[in-house]
Structure 1
């Protein structure tokens, strides 16, 4: 990268760890979208389904915070998955105006199918890196996560 005095970025900006993380994230996200599409599923659907599976009873607002998206985006996804019969809203036992999200049997089946696709992508990455490097990458990513939280 040629540097000029008026460059809007620092030297080697495209060699930064944060840029490498973003490129890897985009590559993985693109592959997920391609591989999930034949199932009629987007990566965002898989993410929502697995999040509700991991924590049944989450509200839309809680999901939005956890997934770092707007409540409107979650509401749209929830409506789409609910219309497919994969997700259902249930009244909160103590707060009638709050609705909890739960997977239906169809939602669990969709998640099962989607997770097989994601597991295959994971296997491909792990085979490419090897066992030791995969474990090292996971540990490094956990360290990055902690460093960012502590910043």
Structure 2
């Protein structure tokens, strides 16, 4: 309608006019995103990506026992198709080997190669740098406190059934 008054917009929730940084969950999400970016940038300097790094960590920790493609997908919370694409790149790089002569639905064993172990070892200085409390702008005591608090947050998140439960 021309000239008609629109209904006034409803008032926003009380927290909207303030900076959302006062919300711990928002600040934690921002810090997590910033840390993910920092981690990715530092890993890139040694030729790794975060998912690549985590796959290599899981394979090296498994020792002589191979992990399956499906198990890696579960551990990294990825779809089997995404894991397959990721592993294809790792095979091409020479960092992992996997059974290629398998049919759809069959177990696909994945093993780290010596080159994959070397690639993972190249991340040691990155982890040392990012593990320093000063990198996060914290003292050693504050870093210890933060770590403990983050472990509690993660446990609470794992136990949270969600809204309306």
- TM band (smaller chain): 0.7 to 0.9
**Unmatched tracts of structure 1, length 5 or more:** none
1-side partners of 2:36 and 2:58: how far apart? 17
What's the counterpart of residue 25 of structure 2? 18
Higher RCO, Cα 8 Å, sep 6+: 1
120-129 or 45-54, which deviates more: 120-129
- CA distance 1:132–1:72, change in 2 (3 Å): same
What's the counterpart of residue 122 of structure 1? 131
Residue correspondence of structure 1 range 30-41 to structure 2 within 5 A: 30-41=37-48
Give the superposed CA RMSD.
2.5
Q: Does 1:67 align with 2:67?
A: no
Scaled by the length of structure 2, the TM-score of the pair is 0.74
Q: In the TM superposition, what is the alpha-carbon distance from 1:61 to its structure 2 partner?
A: 1.8
Q: Does 1:108 align with 2:117?
A: yes
Aligned residues: 143
Scaled by the length of structure 1, the TM-score of the pair is 0.80
Structure having the higher Rg: 2
Q: In the TM superposition, what is the alpha-carbon distance from 1:128 to its structure 2 partner?
A: 2.6
2-side partners of 1:143 and 1:62: how far apart? 26
Structure 1 or 2: more helix by fraction: 1
What's the counterpart of residue 58 of structure 2? 51
